[in-house]
């Protein structure tokens, strides 16, 4: 049984059809990438999964909860790193963790929180307001916040964007840890090489539709790059 089950998803913004009939199945203990060029519909799909944007049509189930009829339960099952925003400029990283923990009624989270901040080299900046963070620091903190409560479904939208190699490694570790405890991970990115390092399965999106579902192995190296490019033309 897929943990994330999307069938016939359509999302329309006025005249723009951002998502035009995507099917997606993602499983426990696996990481799946949504890969595609700018405007392919990746972030819109992730926003629907996170319960931020409602689907125009189609069905979406997360951890057995229908996203439309049981939105709160579906949202409680997930942890979401949005592609942009999501941080309060006047709050420190630690205050973000405290707020997230309070909203989710977590207890005993402090050690994990400190450990995650250290892994992402944010320990020294934990008590600085995020308004003064660089772009990459903000991205790293967004991954920490998505992962803090060990969600059943981890949704990472462009987690590698502008992030240095240490941040990329730390994100790989978070994905591997989540998989090891049986979580279902979805990563949206336009970076083929990082997508295939992080995920075993890759869904290629173009113009709001899924054009292929491939094993990451099929996208490795020069040949993989050519195969990917041919899907985009």
User: Min. distance of Cβ 215 from ligand ATP in angstroms?
Assistant: 22
Q: CA triplet 79, 9, 145: central angle to 5 degrees?
A: 10
Residue 16 touches ligand ATP, criterion: CB under 6 A = yes
Residue from 32, 43, 92, 100 binding ligand ATP (CB under 6 A) = 43
Residue 39 touches ligand ATP, criterion: CB under 6 A = yes
Q: Residues 75 to 114: which contact ligand ATP by CB under 6 A?
A: 83
Residue 40 touches ligand ATP, criterion: CB under 6 A = yes
Reported as type and span, the H/E element at residue 155 is strand 153-157
List residues bridging with 60 in a β-sheet: 6
Distance CA 138, CA 131 (A): 9
Distance CA 153, CA 124 (A): 29
User: Min. distance of Cβ 56 from ligand ATP in angstroms?
Assistant: 12
Our CB check for ligand ATP shows the closer of 82 and 151 to be 82
Neighbours of 106 (CB within 10 A): 17
Our CB check for ligand ATP shows the closer of 38 and 107 to be 38
Residue 41 touches ligand ATP, criterion: CB under 6 A = yes
Residue 49 touches ligand ATP, criterion: CB under 6 A = no
Distance CA 33, CA 215 (A): 10
Distance CA 156, CA 42 (A): 11
Our CB check for ligand ATP shows the closer of 37 and 226 to be 37
Provide the binding-site residues for ligand ATP, judged by CB under 6 A.
13, 16, 18, 36, 38-44, 83, 190
């Amino acid at each position: 049984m897929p943990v994330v089950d999307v069938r016939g998803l359509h999302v329309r913004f006025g005249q723009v059809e951002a998502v035009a009939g995507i099917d997606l199945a993602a499983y426990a203990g696996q990481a799946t990438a949504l890969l595609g060029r700018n405007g392919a519909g990746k972030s819109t799909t992730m926003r629907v999964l996170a319960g931020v944007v409602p689907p125009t049509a189609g069905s979406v189930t997360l951890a057995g909860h229908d996203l439309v009829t049981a939105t709160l339960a579906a949202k409680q099952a997930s942890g979401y790193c949005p592609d942009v925003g999501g941080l309060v400029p006047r709050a420190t990283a630690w205050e973000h963790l405290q707020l997230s923990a309070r909203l989710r009624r977590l207890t005993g989270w402090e050690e994990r929180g400190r450990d995650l901040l250290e892994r992402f080299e944010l320990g020294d900046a934990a008590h600085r307001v995020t308004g003064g963070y660089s772009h990459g620091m903000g991205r790293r903190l967004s991954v920490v916040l998505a992962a803090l409560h060990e969600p059943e479904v981890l949704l990472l939208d462009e987690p590698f964007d502008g992030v240095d190699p240490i941040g990329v490694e730390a994100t790989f570790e978070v994905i591997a840890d989540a998989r090891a405890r049986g979580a279902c991970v979805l990563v949206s990115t336009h970076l083929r090489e990082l997508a295939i390092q992080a995920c075993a399965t890759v869904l290629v999106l173009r113009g709001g539709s899924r054009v292929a579902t491939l094993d990451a192995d099929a996208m490795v190296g020069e040949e993989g790059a050519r195969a990917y490019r041919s899907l985009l033309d």
